[in-house]
Amino acid sequence: MKRALIIVALAAATVAAGRHGTPLQQAPKETAAIANPLEGSENARLAGRKLFERECAYCHGPNGEGKPGGAPPLKRPDVCSAPPGALFWVLRNGSLRGGMPSFAHLPEPERWQIVTYIRSLLPEDKHGK
Amino acid sequence: MRNRLHQLSVLACLSCGIAAAGEGAFFITYTHQMEEPGNLEFANSSVTGAPSGGSGFIGSAAEFEYGVKGWWTTEAYLDGAFSSGQSTVFTGFRLENRFRVLPREHWINPVLYVEFEDINGADKSLLEVVGHDGVDDLKQPVADARKEKEREIEAKLILSSYAKGWTIAENLIAEKNLAHEPYEFGYSLGVSRPLALAASPRPCNFCPENLQAGLEMYGGLGTHADFGLHDTSHYLAPVLSWTLMNGTQLRIEPSFGLTDTSARFLLRFGISYEVAQFGRAARKMFTGGIR
């Protein structure tokens, strides 16, 4: 009986550990693979900046540089080069236990506009570094 | 200490960032949108009406909504009412908590709501309609109505979804007066959509994405002894909300009574303003920046 309980506890711990990681890493593969329909649109980037300033800047900093004791920076290669679908997934779901709210109340086009802006925070040649 | 409290009171106005008010478009129906952790929203919702055979009135609720966690929002209300030719009275307070059940977005998202209210019979904020609430309640003279104590526990099951820009929400309400009165039930339904789904590239007050139009329907469902639509009030209410660039949200909702027991017409109007990360700023002030 004891052995069975240990096995169940280990299995639960393994499952729980597998679900950890950054919110971006938790995005399902099929969602992460979705392309941004507004990719490359300058209007979308400008609209995304406007939305970012309203919805995200207070925690992540006005240019996504992060805030001490606040939310992590977004102006970094692993975020700016993340698949657009993964960024979109994080905006939709948030990380409620981690303190980031869901932005599902924003219509899909607005969320894609924010994704477009976040990916432009670093120039493309710095995405991979 | 008094100095600190004074600082705290001006903190909300001066030193915090603003955020778009997170009320959604509705007055009565809740969605699963929670207050952002650390944000404080100030809001006022008022309703005015002139029931035939009674005095014209304005009922008002001042709301203070705070995001404790991403999955937990708490709110306090102070209610007051003005009746034409009678008096203006403080009618009581409400404390509510909302708990989001599922951590991720699904096609339908449940939230559990629990509220304690200590109000009197003169309260006319009409934040929900339950049981056999009706126009006769609004006609009672204030002096008499004030004597009636309403200490109640209210629970709601909030269900809501976002689909292709539409917000669709359903609330089921159960309310129990602690003074041995029966359980009362009610409902509210809401659907809304912004006038544009994509934001325009430039900051603007009059962009269509800042405007949301919707429709609410709400009413009572009787008590556990006589559950149903008999002798209950129901309202149909188109709503319009407008979010300004500085985050202030304005809302207006004419409500049309659908049954003989309903008030024929009510007009709701509200304003809300959200202060971003109020909690962090207040903590920093009281601890001198030490975490």
Residue-wise pLDDT for B29-38, tens only, equals 999 999 999 9
Average model confidence (pLDDT) across chain B: 90
Average pLDDT over residues B243-265: 95
**Ramachandran sector of residue B114 (left: φ over 0; alpha: ψ -120 to 50; beta: rest):** beta
Size of interface A-B (CB pairs under 8 A): 85
Closest residue to B33, CB basis, from A48, A54, A105: A105
**How many whole angstroms separate alpha carbon A20 and alpha carbon B230?**
52
Closest residue to A50, CB basis, from B33, B105, B203: B203
Q: Which pLDDT does position A7 carry in this prediction?
A: 59
Percent of chain B with pLDDT over 70: 91
Residue scoring higher pLDDT (B97 or B180): B97
In angstroms, the separation between the Cα of residue B73 and the nearest Cα of chain A is: 12
pTM above threshold 0.95 = no
Average model confidence (pLDDT) across chain A: 85
Q: Which pLDDT does position B15 carry in this prediction?
A: 44
Neighbours of A11 (CB within 10 A): 10
Cβ-proximal residues to B114 (8 Å cutoff; 6+ apart), any chain: B96, B97, B153, B154, B155
Q: Which pLDDT does position B264 carry in this prediction?
A: 96
Q: Which of B26, B100, B162 has the highest number of chain A CBs within 10 A, making it the mutation to test binding with A?
A: B162
